[in-house]
Structure 1
Amino acid sequence: MKIKQYETSQLNDIKALFKNTFTDSEGETEGKMVSELAYEALTTSDGKDVYGFVAMDGDTLAGSIVFTRLTPANGAEAFLLSPVAVSTSYQKQGVGSTLINVALEVLKNEGVELVFTYGDPNYYGRVSFKQISEDVVKAPCKLSFPEGWLGQSLVSDEVSPIEGETGCVAAMNKPEIW
């Protein structure tokens, strides 16, 4: 399995991966929404505000992950991990964890200090994400599932409190996804 930054020639395959994976697990409506979210994040965000990674098994796209810039009030270099997908036939083989860990190492080497996500605490806890209260760092939109607001510092042991509002790229600034 090779983990690398995506190439624009892979955009349609990435969109299909997200659609198929989320349709299999969550239904057609969710598959369509998440695939469009990933595609929009990768195609409309400024280049300095987005990272996309793929897990390749030879010529087969096994997984993909997207990170978009998060802008906390203190100016910290921060990104939001969302979404991530692993092809149904590659799940439960460590592809997702490997993809996340390799991507986090790249972001750390690029000077990123903080990474957040909004998802399953049990899944993301396996890759060092911890629940974050909005008293510590406010999410960019109102959370429908506050227990799913997770974060980690790439430069210290914990996420220090940051006062004020947090912004995000346009693709992620949609209350319905939060």
Structure 2
Amino acid sequence: MNFSIYEQSQKNEIIALYLATFSASESKQEGEQVARLVTDFLAEPYPSTDLYVFVATDEQRIVGAIVMSRLQFAHAKEVFLLSPVAVATNWQGQGIGQKLIQFGCDKLAEQNVSLVMTYGDINFYGKVGFSVVSEEIIQAPHSLSYPKGWLVKPVLDDEILPITGKPSCLKPLDNPQLW
């Protein structure tokens, strides 16, 4: 299994992975929505310091992908948002997602990113060091429908200090319905 930053030539395969994975685990509609989100991320010419897409490959075939995008706070350390994450259905349960997330967090730490946030299931993300954080400590870009799903992982040090203000996120995630 190899982990790397995605290459432009992998764009269609990554989108297909998200479509298939979320269609199988959630619904066709959810698969299409997440695939559109990823398409929007990959279509925009974001600065390389604002968006990272990492892939897990097995013999050149993409079996996992994660998107990590900047959360911009007015006065804060470097913070990124992990969303979305996909591992091909027949590759799930082998720790690929966990290893890919750790790989991405390690790469962000090399860029002096302090915290990685995500919005999801603590039962999964807790396995790779995420913990629930109150919006009194770190606000989300939009109101959360499931506040216990707002998660943080320190990647440079273990300290989680409060961050003042509401962050902005990249355009594909700047939709209150996603939160």
* TM-score band, normalised by shorter chain: over 0.9
Alignment partner, residue 92 of structure 1: 93
* 8 Å Cα contact 1:142-1:175 kept in structure 2: yes
Q: TM-score, normalised by structure 2?
A: 0.96
> Is it true that 1:20 corresponds to 2:20 in the alignment?
yes
Deviation at 1:39, TM superposition (A): 1.9
Which residue identity lines up with residue 31 of structure 1 in the other structure?
G
Deviation at 1:152, TM superposition (A): 1.5
Deviation at 1:165, TM superposition (A): 1.4
Deviation at 1:158, TM superposition (A): 3.1
Structure 1 residues not aligned, in runs of 5+? none
* 8 Å Cα contact 2:76-2:163 kept in structure 1: no
Give secondary structure in 2 for the equivalent of 1:99. Answer: helix
Alignment partner, residue 111 of structure 1: 112
Residues 1-178 of structure 1 correspond to what in structure 2 (within 5 A)?
Answer: 1-44=1-44, 46-47=46-47, 48-178=49-179
Structure 2 residues not aligned, in runs of 5+? none
Deviates more, 1:152-161 or 1:163-172: 152-161
Map Cα deviations across residues 102-153 of structure 1 (whole Å, 9 max, x no partner): 1110110111111100001110000000001000000001101111000111
Aligned pairs, number: 178
Which residue identity lines up with residue 41 of structure 1 in the other structure?
F
Map Cα deviations across residues 64-102 of structure 1 (whole Å, 9 max, x no partner): 000011012323111100000000010001100010011
Give secondary structure in 2 for the equivalent of 1:126. Answer: helix
Q: What CA distance in whole angstroms lies between the structure 1 residues aligned with 2:43 and 2:77?
A: 24
Which residue identity lines up with residue 39 of structure 1 in the other structure?
T
Q: What CA distance in whole angstroms lies between the structure 2 residues aligned with 1:132 and 1:145?
A: 12
RMSD between aligned alpha carbons?
Answer: 1.0
* 8 Å Cα contact 1:45-1:169 kept in structure 2: no
Q: TM-score, normalised by structure 1?
A: 0.97
Deviation at 1:45, TM superposition (A): 5.3
* 8 Å Cα contact 2:79-2:114 kept in structure 1: yes
* 8 Å Cα contact 2:112-2:156 kept in structure 1: no
Which residue identity lines up with residue 140 of structure 1 in the other structure?
P
